[in-house]
Chains A and B, each alone.
Chain A
Amino acid sequence: MNPELARYIQRRERILDKVRTLLVERLHVSRAPDEIDPDAPLFGTGLGLDSVDAVELLVSMESELGVRLPHEGLSRPAMRTVNTLVDLALAHGRTDDVDG
């Protein structure tokens, strides 16, 4: 695999792990990390989060992954699935964990 692609996938996987951990530890999602599919919806009955959890989720994304929303308008499209959270962290999170 092309090294750049490999690095991207590695980074994505790492952030995915962090998001899963955050969901289990901070949001009390009662699932094993490997049960949390990247495309699992966060709300509705997907992972079972609700509007109050949404607040905690954003704050946790900031404290755990350094995500700072550039503007309020991004919060809704970013909080749809686990993968949209990973996208958010990739675009607006800390960049210091690129290699580890």
Chain B
Amino acid sequence: MSMDDEIRALRTSVALAKGDHITCLRIEGEGAYEALDYVVACDLFLQDGQMRPSLLLDEEARPFADIHVARDDESFFLLAEGPSPEELVAFLEKRFPAGVVVTVERCNGTLLSLHGPYAWELCTTVFGPDVGSLPYLAFYRTDDAVFFRSGKTGEFGYDLLIPTDEVATVREALLREGAAFDLALASLSALDQCALENGFFNIRREGRAGLSPLELGLQWRVSYRKDYVGSAALQARREANATARVVWAVAGAPVAEGDEVFLDDQRIGHVLVSGFSVIRGEWVVLLLLDRPYAYAGIDRYEARHAGERRPIRTLSAPLLNNRSLYVSPQRHSYRTRDESKLPPFVLPL
């Protein structure tokens, strides 16, 4: 199946993906909160069963890992993308405050993930109603599995932590029941493209550009009210005023990472990430623009690609009017869906 087909399924029905790019850790012990509070960039405002997206920053305030932190009673789950499991554990152990009683363990099990406007329904069919009724950024656990409702595609998204010896069975059940949902398998590249279209931060792409949350527009994932790894550098960068900011854009012709962006003859930034959106039928790009030009809704900029100037148009993310916004687990069903009643993926401005 081509990536385009994977993405079409993810945007209209359900797609199943591997979760091996995510590391799931369990943080326990008397000092679990204190230890995490010192490495996680956001305020840990979490009720039991809730999760939050945040970052692990390095000492220079650059993202080291893209995380979800979830509170399970007085313990925590940490779902992280970016570093390898070994790098992640080493990062934490090196930076946890001294003398704090805390244990870090890799969770037993294998992650599978489901995404799509009807992902909830397939989950309900296979795992029962508790998973289907999970609100966004919450998780639910059974004796041996954990179901996180996270997702970085703009659709209903679930990361399922399944005991490794049961993964094959669960996967089979998802494929079997998924047939009725036109389930497709999605690759990591497909997930990354969907993240880009929906304005989700991607640690494997723009996250490697040496930028801080200030340039990345991720201040909502960090706190300025506490001390933690990277907070001093972040504060200093904030006071120095960031000179660039990420902006999303679309282009009719291919543009690529590294292409320079111009306003007339003035260079105002460059392309950080680019990918073709099969849903929009055009190229979707993430730009890093000089601050005075970093705004959505402008069609005067151009990217220079292969010696040619290609017009681009900046836009507010998310770039899609996701179907998941209009599908309700209490009212709808894939079987009885009426696509004619769903609004278009791209709204005229």
Do A and B share a direct contact in the complex (Cβ within 8 angstroms)? yes
User: Are A5 and B300 neighbours in the complex by a CB distance under 8 Å?
Assistant: yes
Q: Would you call B85 an interface residue if the criterion is a C-beta within 8 Å of the partner chain's C-beta atoms?
A: no
User: Are A83 and B317 neighbours in the complex by a CB distance under 8 Å?
Assistant: yes
Contacts of A41 in B (CB 8 A): 220
Q: Smallest distance from the beta carbon of B51 to chain A beta carbons, Å?
A: 8
Q: How far is the CA of A80 from the CA of B318 in the complex (A)?
A: 8
User: Are A5 and B298 neighbours in the complex by a CB distance under 8 Å?
Assistant: yes
Q: A9-B292, A45-B52, A77-B321 are in contact. Are A39 and B217 (CB under 8 A)?
A: yes
Q: Would you call B334 an interface residue if the criterion is a C-beta within 8 Å of the partner chain's C-beta atoms?
A: no
Q: Would you call B134 an interface residue if the criterion is a C-beta within 8 Å of the partner chain's C-beta atoms?
A: no
Number of interface residues of A (CB under 8 A): 35
User: Are A35 and B224 neighbours in the complex by a CB distance under 8 Å?
Assistant: yes
User: Are A87 and B224 neighbours in the complex by a CB distance under 8 Å?
Assistant: no
With beta carbons under 8 angstroms apart, the residue of A8, A37, A73 that contacts B297 is: A8
Q: Which of A34, A39, A77 has the most CB of B within 10 A?
A: A39
**B-contact 0/1 string along A52-89, CB 8 Å cutoff:** 00000000000000000000011011001101101100
User: Are A39 and B326 neighbours in the complex by a CB distance under 8 Å?
Assistant: no
Contacts of B349 in A (CB 8 A): 87, 91
- A-B contacts, 28 listed (Cβ < 8 Å): A1-B292, A8-B295, A8-B298, A9-B295, A9-B298, A13-B295, A32-B224, A35-B219, A35-B220, A36-B220, A37-B218, A37-B219, A40-B220, A41-B220, A43-B136, A44-B136, A45-B45, A45-B52, A45-B137, A74-B347, A77-B321, A77-B343, A80-B318, A81-B316, A83-B316, A83-B317, A87-B316, A91-B349
**Chain B residue with minimal CB distance to A30?**
B225
User: Are A2 and B300 neighbours in the complex by a CB distance under 8 Å?
Assistant: yes
Q: Smallest distance from the beta carbon of B269 to chain A beta carbons, Å?
A: 14
Interface of B is mostly: loop
Q: How far is the CA of A43 from the CA of B52 in the complex (A)?
A: 12
Q: Would you call B296 an interface residue if the criterion is a C-beta within 8 Å of the partner chain's C-beta atoms?
A: yes
User: Are B296 and A83 neighbours in the complex by a CB distance under 8 Å?
Assistant: yes
User: Are B220 and A46 neighbours in the complex by a CB distance under 8 Å?
Assistant: yes
User: Are A1 and B199 neighbours in the complex by a CB distance under 8 Å?
Assistant: no
Q: Would you call A27 an interface residue if the criterion is a C-beta within 8 Å of the partner chain's C-beta atoms?
A: no
Q: How far is the CA of A74 from the CA of B52 in the complex (A)?
A: 27
Q: Smallest distance from the beta carbon of B4 to chain A beta carbons, Å?
A: 24
Q: Would you call B236 an interface residue if the criterion is a C-beta within 8 Å of the partner chain's C-beta atoms?
A: no
Contacts of B53 in A (CB 8 A): 44-45
**A-contact 0/1 string along B311-330, CB 8 Å cutoff:** 00000111001000110000
Q: Smallest distance from the beta carbon of A59 to chain B beta carbons, Å?
A: 20
Q: Would you call B100 an interface residue if the criterion is a C-beta within 8 Å of the partner chain's C-beta atoms?
A: no
Q: Would you call B263 an interface residue if the criterion is a C-beta within 8 Å of the partner chain's C-beta atoms?
A: yes
> Using a CB–CB distance below 8 Å, which chain B residues touch chain A?
42, 45, 52-53, 136-137, 199, 217-220, 224, 238, 245-246, 248, 263-264, 292-293, 295-298, 300, 316-318, 321, 325-326, 343, 347, 349
User: Are B325 and A12 neighbours in the complex by a CB distance under 8 Å?
Assistant: no
**Chain A residue with minimal CB distance to B218?**
A37
With beta carbons under 8 angstroms apart, the residue of A36, A38, A74 that contacts B296 is: A38
User: Are A39 and B316 neighbours in the complex by a CB distance under 8 Å?
Assistant: yes
**B-contact 0/1 string along A1-28, CB 8 Å cutoff:** 1100100110011000000000000000
Q: How far is the CA of A98 from the CA of B31 in the complex (A)?
A: 54
Contacts of B217 in A (CB 8 A): 37-40
Q: How far is the CA of A84 from the CA of B217 in the complex (A)?
A: 14
User: Are A73 and B343 neighbours in the complex by a CB distance under 8 Å?
Assistant: yes
Q: A77-B321, A77-B325, A87-B296 are in contact. Are A39 and B246 (CB under 8 A)?
A: yes
Q: A44-B136, A45-B137, A87-B297 are in contact. Are A39 and B199 (CB under 8 A)?
A: yes
Contacts of B264 in A (CB 8 A): 2
Q: How far is the CA of A9 from the CA of B263 in the complex (A)?
A: 14
User: Are A12 and B297 neighbours in the complex by a CB distance under 8 Å?
Assistant: yes
With beta carbons under 8 angstroms apart, the residue of A31, A44, A73, A86 that contacts B137 is: A44
Q: How far is the CA of A35 from the CA of B238 in the complex (A)?
A: 9
**Chain B residue with minimal CB distance to A5?**
B300
Contacts of A81 in B (CB 8 A): 199, 316-318
Q: How far is the CA of A43 from the CA of B220 in the complex (A)?
A: 11
Q: Smallest distance from the beta carbon of A24 to chain B beta carbons, Å?
A: 14
Q: How far is the CA of A77 from the CA of B248 in the complex (A)?
A: 16
